[in-house]
A and B are shown apart, each in its own frame.
Chain A
Amino acid sequence: MIIMKQFTLAISAIALGMGSVASAQAETDKAAVLDTYANIAAAKYTDSLITAQRLQSAVDALIAEPSAEALQAAKEAWLAARVPYQQTEVYRFGNPIVDDWEGKVNAWPLDEGLIDYVDASYGGPSDENDLAVLNVVANSAFTLSGAKVDASQITPALLEDTLQEADGIEANVATGYHAIEFLLWGQDLNGHGPGAGNRPWTDYAAADACTGGNCDRRAEYLKAATDLLVTDLEWMAAQWAEDGAARTELAKDEDAGISAILTGMGSLSYGEQAGERMRLGLMLNDPEEEHDCFSDNTHNSHFYDGMGIQNVYLGAYVRIDGSLISGPSLSDLTVAADPALDAEMQDKLSTTMMALGRIKTAAEAGFSYDQMLERGNEAGEALIMGGVDGLIDQTRSIERVVAALGVESISFEGSDSLDNPGAVFQ
C-alpha cells in the first residue's frame, strides 16, 4: 500500500504538467480504488459466511445433543461471527443492493416476544405492535393481519415470508443475527446491572428436562433462523464476487462509485451509529436500546462498525484467517487531491477508534454497556459520548472529502435518505 501511495503521488506530480494524461490517470485511480473496495466487500461477506457456517455447525450440535457446553459453544460461534459482519455495515447505505437485503440479517431493535417466551415485565401487545407477544415457539397456529397462519412446521420460509416484519412492523424481527442471539441468550433481565441474558441450556433439552416449554419447536426455530442466515450471506458474498451484481453496479460510473463509498461511511457514522445506536440509548437511559442487548456484546458491535469505516477508507482489511486484503484506497485519492485533508481524515478515524476502543476495554473489564447507559452514570456517559463525538466529527471530514474529490454533484441523489427514508429513530 505504501508503494502504491508513492506511485500515485509520482503520477500526480507528472500529471501537473500534462492535463490530458492527468485525466486518464485520475480515472484509472478511481477504478482501482473501487476494485479494492469491492475486493474487501467480497472478503468481508465471505468471512461472515464462513463464521456463520461455523455457527450453523455449533447449532446443529446443540440440537443433536443439548448441553450447557453445546449452548456455550454456539454462543461463542455467534460472537465470532459478529466480528466480520459488523465490519460490513459500512457497505449498507452506499449500496442499495446491500441496504435492501440488510434487514433480513441484522434488523434491530426487535420485539422478541414475537419469537419466544418473555418475562412478565416485558408487557403485552403495544400501541405500535399487536404481535409483540405472539410467541411463535409456543403457538403452532395463529391469526396474522386477519389471515390464519399454520406454523406447525417452523421453516426458513415461514420466518422469511410470513413473520419477518409481520403486520408491516419493523420491530417484528423474525430472522437474522439478533433473532438467533435471543434464542441463544434469552432476555437480559439485569436492567442496568452486569450480566447478559441467561437462557438455560435446558430450553433445548428433550422430554421432561425441557424448560420454557416447546423445546423441540425452539430448536426448530433456531435451526431455521441459522440456516437462513447462511443462505442470505451466501447470496450477498456472491453479489461481490467477480461479475457479481453489486460489483458490476459499482463499476458503472466511477464518480458515483466513489460517492457510494463516502455515503456509506458518512451515513453509518452519523445517522446510524452516532445517532440511533449510541446517542439515543444514552439519552433514553434504556438498556434495551443496546444493539446486541441479549448477549451484552454491544461494545464489540460498535467497535467493529467503526473499524469497518476505517478499513474501507484505508483500503486494508484483515481477514478472519489473518491474511491482508489491500490495494489503492480512498485515502490515496484524497492524498492526491489534498494531503492535509487525508491526514485529517485518518486522524479523525483513529480518534474514533480510540474512543470506541475505550468502550470495548471498559466493557471487557466488567463495566458493561448497559451499565454505561444508566441515568446519572457520568463515566459511562463520557465513554459513550466520546464515541459519538468522534463519529460526528469524522462525518464533517467525510463531507470535506466528498467536496475535495468532486463527487458531490452525484452524491446523495440516489442515497437511502432520499429514496427510502425511514422515520428518524426507527
Chain B
Amino acid sequence: MRSWKAAILIMIAMPAWAETPDIAGIVDDHILPGYQALAARTAGLADAAQADCTPGNAHLNTAYHAAFDAWIMVSHLRFGPSEQDDRAFALAFWPDTRGATPKTLAALLRDQDPVVRSPEAFQTVSVAARGFYALELLLYDPQFQQNEAVGYRCTLITTLTQGIAASAAAILDDWEGGYADLMRGAGSNDTYRSPDEAVRQMFTALSSGLEFTAETRLGRPMGTFDKPRPNRAEARRSGRALHHVTLSLTATRDLAAALSGGDTDLDAAFGRAINRATALDDPVLATVATPEGRFRVEVLQQSITDIRQQVAEDLGPRLGIATGFNSLDGD
C-alpha cells in the first residue's frame, strides 16, 4: 500500500529531469561560511566595544555594521543550532511590536541593574535587551545618548557585544561539531531520516526568509495605504532598512541557486528584485510615507512575491516537497 502510494507520488511530483540538491554542498558553501563570517565579525565587534565603548566612535560603528551584515546573511537559516537556547532570538529580536527593547533597556539603565556585570548572568536578561537591535538603540538612538550613567552604559554595551559573540560562536560550534554532519548524512540519523527531510528544511529556510523580507522587512513600514508606518522600518536608526532587504535577497538567491540546480529563471527573478531594491535609493524606506514612494516599495515587494510564487509553485513540486512549518505560521 505504501510503496504503491509512493510510486504514484513520485510520478506526480518528480519529473524525470529533477535533481536532488547537493545537501553537503549547501552546508559547505552556503551555511558554514555564513556562520564563520558571523562568528569572526561578532568577535571583532566585542573587541571593538572592549577597546572603546563610546557610541559614535568610528571603529565601533564599522564593527557593528560588519557584524550586523553577517547576521542578515544567515538570518533565514532558522533551524538547528540557531534555535538552541534561543540563540537567534538573543541575536535578533525584531520586530518589536510592543516596544519591549527600549522599555527593557531603559529599565536596566534606570535601575543600574548589576546583571550586566557578568556575561553569564546577562544571558538571563530578556532577549529584547540583547542582540543587534538593542545594541542599535544604545549606539544610535538619541534617548540613550543622554543618559548620565556613562559608565554603566559602557558596561552594558561591552557585555551585550560579548553576548552576541558568544551566541554566534555557539551556533558555529554546533554546526561544525555535529549538526553539519547530520545534514550531510541525512537518511542515516533520526534528525533527518531521509535526504528529503534535509532538503525540506533548506527549502523552508528559503521560503520563510523570502516571506520575512517581503512581509515584515517591507510590509511593516508600508503599513496600509492610509496609514504608512515609516518608523517601523528595520534598524532605521543606523540606516540599514533597505540594506537588509538587499542582503537577505542576496543570501536567499545563493540558497535558491543551489536548491534549484542553477535555475536561470529563478535567478533572474532575484536579479530583478535586487535591482529594484538598489534603484530605490531610500536607506530607511522613509518614502513609504508618500503615495509614489509607497508605490515604489510595493513594486519591490511584488517582485519578491513573484519569487516566492516561483519557489512554491515551481521549485517545490520539482523537488517533490512543500515548505514545512515556520515561526511565521501563527498570526
Bound pair (A, B): yes
**Interface on A for B, CB 8 Å cutoff?**
12, 15-16, 19, 22, 93, 99, 102-103, 109, 126-128, 145, 167-168, 171, 266-273, 275-277, 279, 283-286, 288, 336-338, 375-376, 395, 398-400, 402-404, 406, 408-409, 411-413, 415-418, 421-426
Least Cβ–Cβ distance between B188 and chain A, in angstroms: 17
- Please pick, from A127, A167, A376, A417, the residue contacting B211 in the complex, using a CB distance under 8 A: A417
- Please pick, from A268, A376, A423, the residue contacting B215 in the complex, using a CB distance under 8 A: A423
Taking a contact as CB atoms under 8 Å apart, the answer to whether B215 and A399 are in contact is: no
Are A127 and B231 also in contact (CB < 8 A) when A272-B330, A418-B211 are?
A: yes
Taking a contact as CB atoms under 8 Å apart, the answer to whether B330 and A127 are in contact is: no
Q: Does B125 reach chain A (CB closer than 8 Å)?
A: yes
Are A109 and B98 also in contact (CB < 8 A) when A417-B326, A418-B308 are?
A: yes
Within 8 Å CB of B2, what residues of A?
337-338, 404
Are A276 and B330 also in contact (CB < 8 A) when A22-B4, A337-B2, A406-B8 are?
A: yes
A24 to B200, CA, bound (A): 30
Taking a contact as CB atoms under 8 Å apart, the answer to whether B326 and A270 are in contact is: yes
Task: Give 1 or 0 for each of B171-204: 1 = CB within 8 Å of chain A CB.
Answer: 0000000000000000000000100110010000
Least Cβ–Cβ distance between A12 and chain B, in angstroms: 5
Within 8 Å CB of B243, what residues of A?
none
Among listed B21-29, B217-225, B257-265, B287-295, interface-contacting one = B217-225
Least Cβ–Cβ distance between B194 and chain A, in angstroms: 9
Task: Give 1 or 0 for each of B114-155: 1 = CB within 8 Å of chain A CB.
Answer: 000000000011111000000000000000000000000000
- Please pick, from B97, B219, B329, the residue contacting A416 in the complex, using a CB distance under 8 A: B329
Taking a contact as CB atoms under 8 Å apart, the answer to whether A168 and B331 are in contact is: no
Taking a contact as CB atoms under 8 Å apart, the answer to whether A422 and B321 are in contact is: no
- Extra contacts, 9 of them, besides A272-B331, A398-B325 (Cβ < 8 A), are A15-B1, A102-B331, A126-B98, A338-B2, A409-B316, A412-B322, A416-B329, A421-B215, A422-B328
Taking a contact as CB atoms under 8 Å apart, the answer to whether A271 and B325 are in contact is: yes
A395 to B95, CA, bound (A): 24
Q: Does B317 reach chain A (CB closer than 8 Å)?
A: yes
A22 to B312, CA, bound (A): 30
A22 to B7, CA, bound (A): 14
Within 8 Å CB of B331, what residues of A?
99, 102-103, 272, 276, 416, 422, 426
A425 to B313, CA, bound (A): 27
Within 8 Å CB of A269, what residues of B?
325
Within 8 Å CB of B247, what residues of A?
none
Taking a contact as CB atoms under 8 Å apart, the answer to whether B219 and A423 are in contact is: yes
Within 8 Å CB of A424, what residues of B?
95, 212, 216, 327-328
Q: Does B324 reach chain A (CB closer than 8 Å)?
A: yes
Within 8 Å CB of A399, what residues of B?
197, 200, 324-325
Taking a contact as CB atoms under 8 Å apart, the answer to whether B100 and A284 are in contact is: yes
Least Cβ–Cβ distance between A386 and chain B, in angstroms: 15
Q: Does B278 reach chain A (CB closer than 8 Å)?
A: no
A417 to B197, CA, bound (A): 20
Chain A interface main SS type: helix
A283 to B313, CA, bound (A): 36
Task: Give 1 or 0 for each of B70-108: 1 = CB within 8 Å of chain A CB.
Answer: 000000000000000010011001011111100010000
Q: Does B280 reach chain A (CB closer than 8 Å)?
A: no
Taking a contact as CB atoms under 8 Å apart, the answer to whether B89 and A402 are in contact is: no
A426 to B128, CA, bound (A): 15
Within 8 Å CB of A267, what residues of B?
325, 329-330
- Please pick, from A103, A128, A421, the residue contacting B328 in the complex, using a CB distance under 8 A: A421
A152 to B112, CA, bound (A): 47
A31 to B86, CA, bound (A): 41
Chain A to chain B: the 9 pairs with minimum beta-carbon distance, closest first: A272-B330, A271-B329, A271-B330, A267-B329, A421-B215, A408-B322, A266-B325, A283-B127, A270-B325
Least Cβ–Cβ distance between A346 and chain B, in angstroms: 17
Taking a contact as CB atoms under 8 Å apart, the answer to whether A337 and B1 are in contact is: yes
User: Which residue of the partner chain B has the closest CB to A266?
Assistant: B325
Within 8 Å CB of A283, what residues of B?
86, 89-90, 93, 126-128
User: Which residue of the partner chain A has the closest CB to B115?
Assistant: A375
Taking a contact as CB atoms under 8 Å apart, the answer to whether A284 and B322 are in contact is: no
Q: Does B9 reach chain A (CB closer than 8 Å)?
A: yes
Taking a contact as CB atoms under 8 Å apart, the answer to whether A376 and B124 are in contact is: yes
User: Which residue of the partner chain A has the closest CB to B231?
Assistant: A127
Of listed B1, B99, B219, B329, residue having the most chain A CB within 10 A: B329
Within 8 Å CB of A337, what residues of B?
1-2, 5
Query: Would you list which residues of chain B between 10 and 31 have a CB under 8 Å from chain A?
Result: 12-13
Taking a contact as CB atoms under 8 Å apart, the answer to whether A375 and B97 are in contact is: no
Q: Does B323 reach chain A (CB closer than 8 Å)?
A: yes
Taking a contact as CB atoms under 8 Å apart, the answer to whether A167 and B227 are in contact is: yes
User: Which residue of the partner chain B has the closest CB to A381?
Assistant: B124
- Please pick, from B126, B220, B327, the residue contacting A286 in the complex, using a CB distance under 8 A: B126
A286 to B99, CA, bound (A): 12
Query: Would you list which residues of chain B between 256 and 307 have a CB under 8 Å from chain A?
Result: none
Least Cβ–Cβ distance between B301 and chain A, in angstroms: 11
Within 8 Å CB of A12, what residues of B?
1
Taking a contact as CB atoms under 8 Å apart, the answer to whether B211 and A421 are in contact is: yes
Within 8 Å CB of A266, what residues of B?
324-325, 329
Within 8 Å CB of B216, what residues of A?
421, 423-424
Within 8 Å CB of B316, what residues of A?
409
Taking a contact as CB atoms under 8 Å apart, the answer to whether B128 and A284 are in contact is: yes
Within 8 Å CB of A145, what residues of B?
226-227
Are A336 and B1 also in contact (CB < 8 A) when A267-B329, A417-B326, A421-B211 are?
A: yes
Taking a contact as CB atoms under 8 Å apart, the answer to whether A128 and B325 are in contact is: no
